[in-house]
Structure 1
C-alpha cells in the first residue's frame, strides 16, 4: 500500500443547515426592502425602469418591457417563486425605485446569490443604493448565518463588475460559454464575499454610511478607500 499524506479542508465547527431567506421587510435609514408585490410595486418600477431606456436591459436575460401588463406579469411570477425577491422603496418619496433578490439558495452549504439587481436611475450613484446592498448582506450573514454570498454578471457588463468590486466582492473567475442569452453567448464572471470577510466589509459600510462621512451630500472617503484603510490597519 502506498503511504500518502493527504491534506484536508478546515473543520467547520458546529455547522448546521441554514434557514432559507424569508420574504421579510428590511428597514434602513434611506430605503426599505419589501417583499416584491405586483399590485404594490409593479407600476412604480415599470415607470422607473422606462426612464433608463432599452439599454438598461442589455445584459439582463429579460426585457425590455413596453407594456406595464407584461412587466406586471413578470413581477407576479417572481413574487410567488421560491426566491426572495425584494422591492427597494425610497422612504422619503414612498415609491419603489429598484429590485433585487436572493436566489440559487443552498441552505445545506450556506450559499446564496444576490441577483435580479435592477436599479433605476433614481438609485444610480446614490447612498440609498449602497444601503440596499448592505441591508441584504447583513441579513444573509448575520440573521441567516450563511458562509458565502455570490454575485455573477455578464463578462461584458462593466458597470456590474465595477459595482461588485466597490461593494467588497472578490473576483473568482469566468465561466466561459455559460449561457445563451437573447441569442448571444454569455461568459459569466463570478464574485463572492465569505463570512470571514464580512466583518471588515460591514465595518466599511458602517463608516461609509455614517453622517460623518458626508458633507453637503458628498462623500469624504470612498467605500473602497475606507475598506483599504481597515485592512491596512489590521496588518
Structure 2
C-alpha cells in the first residue's frame, strides 16, 4: 500500500491520514543545477538580462516560435526588449524560482519551480519554454531529472505538473516524465480571455526511487545509438525496474 493510501484511527474511531513529520528544506534560489547535457542557471543570478534576451530571441519569428506560447499565461515576446522585460519581471509572478536552461553555455529556454509550499512539501514545475534546440532531446529530459532530483532530495513529498486540457504536448510530456494523471479542474481559469480546463499530474516521493533509477539508465550514453536515437524509452526502462 502506498503512503498516501494509509490510514489510522483517531480517539473517536474516525479514519484519518497517517502522521507526517515535515522535513522539507527551502530551495536555494541561487544554486545552479548541472548535468551531463544541460545546466540550469538561476534567473536571479543573471546580471545582463538584455544580453540573455538577445541570445534567447530567435533570429526570425516563426509560427513555431509563436505557437510555443499558446498555452502559457503570457503572449509570445515580440522583440528582444519585450522578452527582456518579461524576464526581468519574472513574467509578472512572485515567489517562483526561474532557471535559464543552457546547453554548452547557450541559453535554450527557461523553466520554473512554482507554488512552493514548504509546510506541505509540495512544489509545481511549470512555465516551461523549450526552444527548438531543446525540444525532444536528451537535454530536455535531463532538465526534468535535475529539478525532480533536487526537490525530492530537499524532502518535498509531491511535485505537480499542470497544463491546459487542450495542450496535448504538455500532457504527453507529463506522462512520459513519470507523472501520474489525477484529474481535471473544469473552468479553472480564464487565460488570455479564454476558458481553461486544467489537467493535474503529480509525482510522489515514494515513487521517485524507481523513477530516478530509470532516468539515470535512460540518460546513459549506452542507451543511444551513434545517431543519437534512444534504444529504450524511459517508460520501458521504468516498467522493467518496476516488474
Query: What TM-score comes out, normalization by structure 1 length?
Result: 0.90
Asked if the contact 2:22–2:119 (Cα under 8 Å) also holds between the matched residues in 1, the reply is: no
Asked if the contact 1:41–1:87 (Cα under 8 Å) also holds between the matched residues in 2, the reply is: no
Of 4, 8, 11 in structure 1, the residue corresponding to residue 16 of structure 2 is 8
- Of 131-140 and 48-57, deviating more is 48-57
Pair 1:224 & 2:235 matched: yes
Structure 1 residue aligned with 2:89: 77
Q: Structure 1 residue 41: deviation in Å?
A: 2.2
- Give the gaps of 5 or more residues in structure 1: none
Question: What pairs up with 1:73-222 in 2 under 5 angstroms?
Answer: 73-78=85-90, 81-91=94-104, 94-142=105-153, 144-216=154-226, 217-222=228-233
Deviation string 1:173-215 (CA, Å, 9 cap, x unpaired) is 1011111111110000000101000101101100000112112
SS of alignment partner, residue 220 of structure 1: coil
Deviation string 1:131-184 (CA, Å, 9 cap, x unpaired) is 111011111001x21111000000000000000000000001101111111111
- Give the gaps of 5 or more residues in structure 2: 1-10
- Output the CA distance in 1 between the equivalents of 2:115 and 2:61: 28
- Output the CA distance in 2 between the equivalents of 1:48 and 1:178: 36
Query: What TM-score comes out, normalization by structure 2 length?
Result: 0.87
Structure 1 pair 21–170 and aligned structure 2 pair: CA distance change class (3 A) = farther
Of 56, 59, 66 in structure 1, the residue corresponding to residue 68 of structure 2 is 56
Structure 1 pair 208–5 and aligned structure 2 pair: CA distance change class (3 A) = same
- Of 26-35 and 210-219, deviating more is 210-219
Structure 1 pair 48–138 and aligned structure 2 pair: CA distance change class (3 A) = farther
Structure 1 pair 215–61 and aligned structure 2 pair: CA distance change class (3 A) = same
Instruction: State the aligned residue count.
Output: 226
CA-atom RMSD in angstroms: 1.9
